[in-house]
Chains A and B, each alone.
Chain A
Amino acid sequence: AEDTGLRVELAEEDDGKKSSIALKLWIEDPRKLKGKYRESGAIEFTFDLEKEVPEGVAQEMVESGLFQESDVKAVGKSIRDRVSLIRWRRERAMSAEE
């Protein structure tokens, strides 16, 4: 995978049922963050698997002043990659149950 210096992990155990899940975005290069957030290393947030799109959350982070507009695509992609993996794991678990 291309190295964006951003990594999204689950911030809680996935029970496979809830549509809203806690995620944590790790920022390897703090220079990606804006102003007063430069000393930060991670952003925790909830993501609704049914109602939300990763790019929308990335845009909210930019609008909240966390990231530069130029990083919106990289942030969105990092969230999308993790969300795809969560969905894939859930689908696989469901088909195993059947």
Chain B
Amino acid sequence: SAIAQVVHSAGRRFIVSPVPESRLREQ
């Protein structure tokens, strides 16, 4: 599921990126 999602809000784009794998390993 390492795909960025794009959320649109009133003309703005929020690009939501997944946690880098290196950080997932730490958790």
Contacts of B8 in A (CB 8 A): 64
One digit per residue, 1 when the CB lies within 8 angstroms of any chain B CB and 0 when it does not, for chain A 6-45 equals 0000000000000000000000001000000101111111
Which size class do A's interface residues fall under? 10 to 19
Contacts of A61 in B (CB 8 A): 9, 14
Which size class do B's interface residues fall under? 10 to 19
Could you tell me if B10 and A60 are in contact, using CB atoms closer than 8 angstroms?
Answer: yes
Give the number of residue pairs across the A-B interface with Cβ within 8 Å: 47
- Judge if A66 is at the interface, Cβ distance under 8 Å: yes
Cβ-neighbour of A41 out of B5, B12, B13, B20 (below 8 A): B20
Contacts of A44 in B (CB 8 A): 14-15, 17
Cβ-neighbour of B16 out of A37, A46, A57, A60 (below 8 A): A37
A42 to B8, CA, bound (A): 15
A64 to B16, CA, bound (A): 12
Could you tell me if B1 and A66 are in contact, using CB atoms closer than 8 angstroms?
Answer: no
Q: Which residues from 1 to 27 on chain B have a C-beta closer than 8 Å to any C-beta of chain A? A: 1, 5, 7-10, 12-20, 23
- Could you tell me the distance in whole angstroms from the C-beta of B13 to the nearest C-beta in chain A? 7
Using a CB–CB cutoff of 8 Å, the interface residues on chain A facing chain B are: 30, 37, 39-46, 57, 60-61, 63-66
